[in-house]
Amino acid sequence: MALVKLNNNGVKNATAFGSAVTSLGSMVFIKKLTASSSATLSFVHGSGGVDFSTYKEYVFTFKNIHAATDNVKFEFNGSVDAGSNYNVVKTTTMIDAYHGESGSYGVLQYGGLSLAQSTAFQNLANDQGNANDENVGGYLHLYNPSSTTFVKHFTASTSRTSHNDISAQQHYGGYFNNTADIDAIRFQFNSGNIDAGDICLYGIA
The long-range contacts involving 97-106, CB below 8 angstroms and separated by at least 24 positions, are 97/168, 97/169, 97/170, 98/162, 98/166, 98/167, 98/168, 98/169, 99/166, 99/167, 99/168, 100/164, 100/165, 100/166, 100/167, 101/165, 101/166, 101/167, 102/165, 105/166
| Per-residue pLDDT at 13 exceeds 80 | no
Does the residue 7 lie in any domain? no
Kindly report the average pLDDT of the chain as a whole number. 89
| Per-residue pLDDT at 98 exceeds 60 | yes
Domain count of the fold of the chain: 1
CATH number for 127: 2.60.120
Please tell me which residue, 98 or 83, carries the higher pLDDT value.
83
pLDDT the model gives residue 22: 41
Query: Phi and psi (nearest 5°) for 168?
Result: -135, 145
Does the residue 85 lie in any domain? yes
Does the residue 171 lie in any domain? yes
Query: Range of 41's domain?
Result: 26-204
Does the residue 115 lie in any domain? yes
Range of weakest confidence among 47-56, 59-68, 105-114, 115-124: 105-114
Does the residue 9 lie in any domain? no
